Structure 1
């Protein structure tokens, strides 16, 4: 049974929810043993931390087990300024676990232990309570949460309905995970969600999951179809090749920022945090893309899911010349 943690706080800029897991990062092959670094990881909480560091009020309404791993998740989010008043503890299920196993300089294997976890049992009523207590300006969802099971899928669907009732902006990051569900399963859910979405963020190969099976293959035409469905802007991530935003006014592209890549994990979530941050600040499309590729670059240049996310004061650092000492 899930129970709320504490009284609801004031209205946030952004509400998000999903599964955040205990994260263990090995120094090499797991079968050889050795030391592991302990942290937490979850797409939605990565975005929440990124937004919090940029000065926004964020509420995370996921579920964790009544265990020490759950304590670490909540302690970490609180320490990063994220409101967890909408979160819940599940006495009958554990907090999920993710293991990172470096195998080659640029290859890391990921092992999930999340079946039957607290996050996979997140109830719609918990999300409803977190939403209606103080409706947010924006709701951020990912395609990971509905892939966890029927309960979190219903919770996400309820959140979309509440967002429409309260005129809350909806941002969806497709974030397709083939190890959680098939492309056919994802498409059946995501296509139903499109009429509720205001800002769609996806990599170029994820857009077809949001469109009818007979949609054209040309990316520009795909974006136009999505805009015709009522989506305000379609943001496409191209990784090292930057990103683009499609709106009724046309397409605008931005190159990626050049950094020494250390760890790509969490870069997409950092990108989303930067884009949403600039959107909340009322910036135009060019500034939104610029902040997004900047925050994404910080993540790529740092190890961990969220640890490298910049503060607002740090955003100009990537514009400094290489080797410059910033005093």
Structure 2
């Protein structure tokens, strides 16, 4: 197994029209969840990935499990909850490049995750554990589950990749900062967006943000800079990597998870950090071209058709 990840995936309703949701009469149904986005992105790039969660024992829960499993992701660790529902959320599109999201996730099955839902053998068999800052915001038991998974990964020599993915709609800024910095200190790789890095470290340049995490014990930091690409740093090297050009941005949601999938794909393939970041930028750019969280993620044959692996970086 290349990567194991866990967290909440919801049923996503996309309006077929732009404007306030009160005027939307028709929707397309799909799924959305940062961790499953990364899992699907990696599976499409040819990797073995496992996604763990709790879902309601309802039609939406079966739909989510089947969707993710149908993308080639191992869902054997999914638990169906008889008493709590699968969460849903809605997008609101006011303009081509602007989306808002509205969550209906309070009391969801995923918010009832506990450390018992994460088995040591599931973590130990992976090369990387991917976690986000969304899961610990869902409940106290979810936070305990994240810490439990990280402890299992460290025990078994599995590298931990942490994407803060800050959602201030579900907890306060101060609570988020305190909890997420505590988690980041236990991880090998941290992938903040620039604004997330500013909030967490109170620094205002990519270099200072990265150095703050490195001084806290993180081995590698990649600060995502949107259209400008990304900046990465370790204790011994650093570099800005230009972003991939996108002719028309349709929907920005899912781009950060696409970056994570591409970046991890590069690391799994044994590429240099710079090469992995370049691939992350490229996969993230694909996500910008369509409406939906995962619909734009490419298959490896699309990224690098009939060429050697490194040709994708040219």
Instruction: Give the TM-score taking structure 2 as reference length.
Output: 0.92
The counterpart of 2:193, out of the listed 199, 203, 227, is 203
C-alpha distance 82-16 of structure 1, shift in aligned 2 (>3 A): same
Partner residue, 1:107: 98
- Asked whether the 8 Å contact 1:131–1:159 carries over to 2, the reply is no
Partner residue, 1:36: 27
The separation in 1 between residues aligned to 2:187 and 2:200, in whole angstroms, is 11
User: Are 2:44 and 1:47 equivalent residues in the alignment?
Assistant: no
The separation in 2 between residues aligned to 1:193 and 1:40, in whole angstroms, is 27
C-alpha distance 34-194 of structure 1, shift in aligned 2 (>3 A): closer
User: Are 2:182 and 1:181 equivalent residues in the alignment?
Assistant: no
1:67-117 C-alpha deviation (Å, 9 max, x unpaired): 010011110111100000111111110000011122233322211100000
Partner residue, 1:165: 155
- Asked whether the 8 Å contact 1:186–1:209 carries over to 2, the reply is no
1:92-146 C-alpha deviation (Å, 9 max, x unpaired): 10000011122233322211100000111111101135635x5311100001110
The separation in 2 between residues aligned to 1:265 and 1:79, in whole angstroms, is 22
The separation in 1 between residues aligned to 2:100 and 2:277, in whole angstroms, is 30
Q: Equivalent residues in 2 for 1:187-266 (5 A)?
A: 187-211=177-201, 216-259=203-246, 260-266=248-254
Partner residue, 1:15: 4
The separation in 2 between residues aligned to 1:92 and 1:316, in whole angstroms, is 45
The separation in 1 between residues aligned to 2:96 and 2:302, in whole angstroms, is 28
- Asked whether the 8 Å contact 1:61–1:130 carries over to 2, the reply is no
CA RMSD of aligned residues (A): 1.7
Superposition deviation, residue 208 in structure 1: 4.3
SS at structure 1 position matched to 2:119: helix
C-alpha distance 282-302 of structure 1, shift in aligned 2 (>3 A): same
SS at structure 2 position matched to 1:171: strand
The separation in 1 between residues aligned to 2:250 and 2:191, in whole angstroms, is 24
Instruction: Give the TM-score taking structure 1 as reference length.
Output: 0.88
Partner residue, 2:297: 309
Superposition deviation, residue 285 in structure 1: 1.5
- Asked whether the 8 Å contact 1:27–1:102 carries over to 2, the reply is no
Partner residue, 1:279: 267
SS at structure 2 position matched to 1:234: strand
Superposition deviation, residue 218 in structure 1: 4.2
- Asked whether the 8 Å contact 1:74–1:84 carries over to 2, the reply is yes
SS at structure 1 position matched to 2:118: helix
- Asked whether the 8 Å contact 2:162–2:184 carries over to 1, the reply is no
Q: Number of aligned residue pairs: give it.
A: 303
Partner residue, 2:71: 80
SS at structure 2 position matched to 1:164: helix
Superposition deviation, residue 30 in structure 1: 2.6
Unaligned runs of 5+ in 2: 308-314
- Asked whether the 8 Å contact 2:98–2:251 carries over to 1, the reply is no
- Asked whether the 8 Å contact 2:185–2:213 carries over to 1, the reply is no
The separation in 2 between residues aligned to 1:219 and 1:248, in whole angstroms, is 14
